[in-house]
Chains A and B, each alone.
Chain A
Amino acid sequence: MSFTEFRFFLFAAIVILAYYLLPKKIQWLVVLAASVIFYLTYGWRKIIFILLATWITWATGAWISNVYQKEADATTAKKRCKPVLLLSVGILIALLLYAKIGSWVIETMTQLLEFQQLSSIEIIVALGVSYYTFSLISYLADVYWRKDQAEHSYFRLLLFTIYFPKILQGPISRHKYLAPQLREFHKFDYREFCYGLQLMIWGYFKKMVIADRLAVVVNTVFGTPDAYAGSHFLVAACFATVQLYCDFSGCMDIAGGFSQILGLKLEANFNHPFFSRSAAEFWRRWHITLGTWFKDYVYMPLAVSPTLIGVSKKLRQKFGPRVGKSVMTVVPLAIVWILTGLWHSTGWNYVVWGLYWGAMIICSNVFAPEIKKLNRLLHINTEVGSWKVFQMVRTFLLFTVGRILTVPGDLAVSGKIFQKLLFDFQPAVLVDGSLYTLGLDRPNFILGVLCIFILWTASMLQEKGSVRDRIAGCNIVFRWAIYYIAFFSILIFGMYGPGYDAASFVYMNF
């Protein structure tokens, strides 16, 4: 059951009614039951994996907590717990790898060993495996580092893991943030209900009106790369960037809006990333929960590990402070970005994509003094509006280059596209009307561009303050006019044509 299916609306309505009409004591059980039902709609076998992963995590967390309570010496307790923690995290990662590379391993082994029986093994990919695995690892690490309390009830931890609005595409929730909210009783709040509904409508608008409309052009052009010129790819790649943003952030708005109706607040996953002035800032504003996860559980532990500090000290003595400092930035960032690429997919295109962003962020850090000097030398005032706009456009284009690396799914095709962009651009395509032959007719294409403008305007207003607060402050006629326009624009302009698969979200595959 996807957020865009009609049966989801019925399901959501029943959940909201049961949540507020049944006794508050069992609110968490209502959400747990709803989440299990939601998960089961994707097949009963998938649920075994999430139940198992949660059980391993719960048992380990409870055991660590027990050791910490009984052992008087904190250092000894930590030493006792470390192997168990590593074993559990290892099992969680093994389950993740099974889902991620299981098919590839079987395929390779079948080819290498010529053992055909292997090919009959079916790999079951648990829904949301990348998201819940990371949430569970963070929970275990936090319990181990005494930054969070262990959950005593298995079913409470299961609710945190399987909570259905976030299971499809995240956010990668932290237990210490979400679990207390899931424990509390929630009274119906009309304001929260309206705000949640508004956020859901905005999410559906982004997903069904913008992302799915632009996806038609993206799929047409990237699906038959030999048939198109560089300018086609420029338009399609820019559309692919906006499409991914609207698809992913739209899903987050639907999940966040529904949670708000239940009185729950999910972590923000987006903060208008295309207003970022640098690659590093972009990744602090795009898929925020993945970025903070890598920062807290990979980057920081690596960067402050005694081994790396020791290496940094030696290099500092030999080559000076700058080299010593740089090694502490370069090594953890390189590892984080390779892992970020692999988190998305195990293909080479994602490895290169990870290296592309990693190299950019590492260079901007390591060469920050030179970049500053160059700006001074060229008399560039980095605080004027025009320079800020330039930086934002640059961020958008950098992301678009990244999309060209990943959308075709084959590095050789990506290479061909870059070649066409440089040597076979054919600018006339942009004005001779052939853009209207890429799957969207003229009115639909213009509507797509208009919607991007609406998105940009809304984002600008959101940067200046809450748009929902402003709408709430308007008179009732204007307020309801906005709601009706938004609602009917989804009904009228949403993409439902033949061959359109409303069930799939891009980030659901990760």
Chain B
Amino acid sequence: MEEKVLKVLQEECPEVDFFASEELVNDGILDSLTLTTIIAALTMEFGIVIPYEEIIEENFNSVAAMAAMVERLSR
């Protein structure tokens, strides 16, 4: 799952280094505009709905966290 998520992220946001930090949101690497792009891409690619309460820093701070969230919401 992590690889699939990473592929989507790199296609959508090629300018972002997703391994620059383990706290992508807290460190300001992902701003709100990038976050919305990522959420839309994950929603379209994996056919999931990301409820607003899932949009918290912890779920987007790393590729692993995003993959875990996608996996959880896909069930």
Contacts and interface: CB of A to CB of B under 8 A. Distances in A.
A357 to B, nearest CB: 16
B39 to A, nearest CB: 5
Interface in A326-340: 328-329, 332
A328 to B, nearest CB: 6
Contacts of B52: 145, 300-301, 304
A299 B31 CA distance: 12
B20 interface: no
Nearest to A284: B31
A435 interface: no
B46 to A, nearest CB: 12
A365 B37 CA distance: 13
A304 B39 contact: yes
Contacts of B40: 303-304, 309, 312-313, 325, 328
A146 interface: yes
B37 to A, nearest CB: 6
B56 to A, nearest CB: 7
B43 A306 contact: yes
B53 A304 contact: no
A152 interface: no
Contacts of A306: 43, 49
Given A312-B40, A328-B36, A328-B37, A145 B53 contact: yes
A365 B50 CA distance: 24
A24 interface: no
Contact size range, B? 10 to 19
A365 B33 contact: yes
B33 A147 contact: no
Interface in B25-50: 32-33, 35-37, 39-40, 43-44, 49-50
A329 B33 contact: yes
B55 interface: yes
A295 interface: yes
B34 to A, nearest CB: 11
Contacts, number: 42
Interface string A386-420: 00000000000000000000000000000000000
A197 to B, nearest CB: 32
Interface string A296-327: 00011101101001001100000000000100
A329 B52 CA distance: 17
B32 A295 contact: yes
Contacts of A295: 32
**Most chain A beta-carbon neighbours within 10 Å: one of B33, B43, B53, B56:** B33
Contact of B36 (A145, A146, A304, A313): A304
B43 A309 contact: yes
Given A147-B56, A299-B32, A325-B37, A304 B44 contact: no
A484 B33 CA distance: 47
Contacts of A329: 33, 36
Contacts of A147: 53, 56
Contacts of B36: 300, 303-304, 328-329, 332
B33 A309 contact: no
Contact of B32 (A145, A146, A300, A312): A300
Given A309-B40, A309-B44, A328-B40, A304 B50 contact: yes
A304 B55 contact: yes
Contact of B55 (A300, A325, A365): A300
A309 B37 CA distance: 10
A304 B40 CA distance: 7
Contacts of A312: 40
A313 B52 CA distance: 19
Contacts of B35: 300
Interface string A144-177: 0111000000000000000000000000000000
Contacts of A299: 32
A295 B39 CA distance: 15
A325 B13 CA distance: 11
A325 B41 CA distance: 10
B42 to A, nearest CB: 10
B57 to A, nearest CB: 11
A325 B14 CA distance: 14
14 contacts: A147-B53, A147-B56, A300-B36, A300-B55, A303-B36, A304-B36, A304-B39, A304-B40, A309-B40, A325-B37, A325-B40, A328-B37, A328-B40, A365-B33
| 6 shortest interchain CB distances as A-B pairs | A303-B36, A145-B53, A304-B39, A309-B40, A309-B43, A146-B53
Given A145-B52, A304-B50, 19 more contacts: A146-B53, A147-B53, A147-B56, A300-B32, A300-B35, A300-B36, A303-B32, A303-B39, A304-B39, A304-B40, A304-B52, A306-B49, A309-B43, A312-B40, A313-B40, A325-B37, A325-B40, A329-B33, A365-B33
